Copies of this chain bind each other. A is one copy, B any other.
Amino acid sequence: MSNRIKRYFLPEDQIPTQWYNIQADMVNKPLPPLNPATREPLKPEDLYPIFAKELVHQELNQTDAWIDIPEEVRELYKNYRSTPLVRAYGLEKALGTPAHIYFKNESVSPVGSHKLNSALAQAYYCKKEGITNITTETGAGQWGAALSYAAKAFGLELAVYMVKVSYEQKPYRRSIMQTFGAQVTASPSMSTKAGRKILTDHPNYQGSLGTAISEAIELATTVPNCKYTLGSVLNHVALHQTVIGLEAEKQMALAGEYPDVVVACFGGGSNFGGLCFPFMRHTIKEGRKTRYVAAEPASCPKLTRGKFLYDFGDEAGYTPLLPMFTLGHNFAPAHIHAGGLRYHGAGVIVSQLLKDGLMEAVDIDQLDSFAAGCLFAQTEGIIPAPESSHAIAATIREANRCKETGEEKVILFNLSGHGLIDMASYDKYLSGDLQNYTLSDEQIAENLKDLK
């Protein structure tokens, strides 16, 4: 026992120097985003007022499989990368499974989640293009926290619009952002037209991600030298996250193994894509038989029960139309505690891959996710983020199947974040105050009926 290796690291000179752009290798390329007024494919210039140019180019790049990671970003990756690849001996033993379970531990990032991988990249490109101020929205606060540190690291001013109900219920996340020097405003606010309008109509409105996006975009487009940034869904975000899977591939090789199944939780798709895409290139190019499993909440089942359609990325309908699996942009997910998974649509790349049968999706009930999270905590010592617990629950299903069949499969999942700032939700679970949420087919159809 004493000689078995628990965690695999890469030396700093082996941290990836390029991100992997799966768009270049996809047989069926993602459909283009459309201008909602004309339904014409979007041109890069249409996005320049909102995003840094380099990020727009990455977003629409369907030809270059490898994109250099700037040296300045790599230097900051060194603060926490490589993240460990960990063999989950404790979990395996508790399950009595012959499967070999590995997880990539992104929770060791200083802000507690994988979000920093893209935050650093986005802040860098903004800085490089002479941008001085950036904006974003945040719900639960993981993305806001990561971007706050990234903005400080590159000397940018950051304004975060935080959904009001989270601003009040999750003061710790707000404090994290403020400690890094960000300006955090509860949304809706009186600082934007969009915010003022909603507050005038509904003085007690508690905010939504859609409203916060509108406020952040409005600020970005009205303040000089200011751009907007986003923490998931978009292609360039998933691109930056591929550093996860590229590291994991090298680390699996150190362990002398290759995954039969790769699992990640699914919100907008960036942590899923980040882990899976680098492995998937071997499936696309060499026919390697690996299964890719996205674990989404049963209460927000866009992959398992949504439709592939052109839809808006935000509730208010300000974004381009995106070709994606969706429950409808006005879908209001139940208030599950995995806040990062409460999103109506899937990223464009993942949607195409699911449509083409290159990946699969499972849905996880809230109570199953917390049971999985507690078992993982007790066997591996790490309290997972409620989002990551969905991946753990899906992994446990796979491992239990191996127990039945006796197969020694290699399962790799992404521990996208820790749950130390989400303990209120564990508290509720342990007190029996959490529940599952089910959706009828009629509810889903009703929400999709106006989309085409």
Number of copies: 2
Kindly list chain B residues whose C-beta atoms are within 8 Å of the C-beta of A171.
423-424, 427
Asked whether A359 is an interface residue with its Cβ less than 8 Å from the other chain, the reply is no
Q: Is the interface of A mostly helix, strand, loop or mixed?
A: helix
Kindly list chain B residues whose C-beta atoms are within 8 Å of the C-beta of A358.
none
Contact pattern, A 387-430, Cβ under 8 Å of B = 1, otherwise 0: 00000000000000000000000000000001011011011001
Q: Interface segment, A176-184, A188-196, A219-227?
A: A176-184
Q: Which one of B5, B175, B378 contacts A424 once the chains associate, using CB atoms below 8 Å?
A: B175
Asked whether A79 is an interface residue with its Cβ less than 8 Å from the other chain, the reply is yes
Asked whether A286 is an interface residue with its Cβ less than 8 Å from the other chain, the reply is no
Once the chains bind, are A426 and B175 in contact (CB under 8 Å)?
Answer: yes
Once the chains bind, are B112 and A420 in contact (CB under 8 Å)?
Answer: yes
Once the chains bind, are B7 and A78 in contact (CB under 8 Å)?
Answer: yes
Asked whether A2 is an interface residue with its Cβ less than 8 Å from the other chain, the reply is yes
Asked whether A377 is an interface residue with its Cβ less than 8 Å from the other chain, the reply is yes
Once the chains bind, are B179 and A383 in contact (CB under 8 Å)?
Answer: yes
Once the chains bind, are A2 and B74 in contact (CB under 8 Å)?
Answer: yes
Give the complex CA separation of A101 and B175 in angstroms: 27
Contact pattern, A 140-159, Cβ under 8 Å of B = 1, otherwise 0: 00000000010011000000
Shortest CB distance A177–B (Å)? 10
Q: Which one of B5, B180, B430 contacts A377 once the chains associate, using CB atoms below 8 Å?
A: B180
Once the chains bind, are B12 and A430 in contact (CB under 8 Å)?
Answer: no
Asked whether A96 is an interface residue with its Cβ less than 8 Å from the other chain, the reply is no
Contact pattern, A 76-89, Cβ under 8 Å of B = 1, otherwise 0: 10111000001000
Asked whether A441 is an interface residue with its Cβ less than 8 Å from the other chain, the reply is no
Kindly list chain B residues whose C-beta atoms are within 8 Å of the C-beta of A37.
none
Once the chains bind, are A175 and B421 in contact (CB under 8 Å)?
Answer: no
Give the complex CA separation of A399 and B7 in angstroms: 34
Give the complex CA separation of A1 and B75 in angstroms: 8
Once the chains bind, are A9 and B6 in contact (CB under 8 Å)?
Answer: no
Give the complex CA separation of A75 and B404 in angstroms: 29
Specify the chain B residue showing the minimal Cβ separation from A74: B2
Asked whether A238 is an interface residue with its Cβ less than 8 Å from the other chain, the reply is no
Q: Which one of B1, B13, B176, B423 contacts A383 once the chains associate, using CB atoms below 8 Å?
A: B176
A378 touching B180 in the complex, CB below 8 Å, given contacts A2-B74, A7-B12, A420-B112: yes
Once the chains bind, are B420 and A381 in contact (CB under 8 Å)?
Answer: no
Once the chains bind, are B424 and A421 in contact (CB under 8 Å)?
Answer: no
Q: Which one of B76, B176, B382, B424 contacts A110 once the chains associate, using CB atoms below 8 Å?
A: B382
Shortest CB distance A381–B (Å)? 4
18 pairs across A/B with beta carbons < 8 Å?
A2-B71, A2-B75, A5-B12, A7-B12, A9-B9, A79-B381, A108-B108, A110-B380, A152-B378, A171-B427, A173-B423, A174-B427, A176-B426, A178-B426, A178-B427, A179-B374, A181-B378, A420-B421
Top 8 A-B pairs ranked by shortest CB distance?
A6-B78, A172-B423, A175-B423, A110-B381, A175-B427, A110-B382, A2-B71, A152-B378
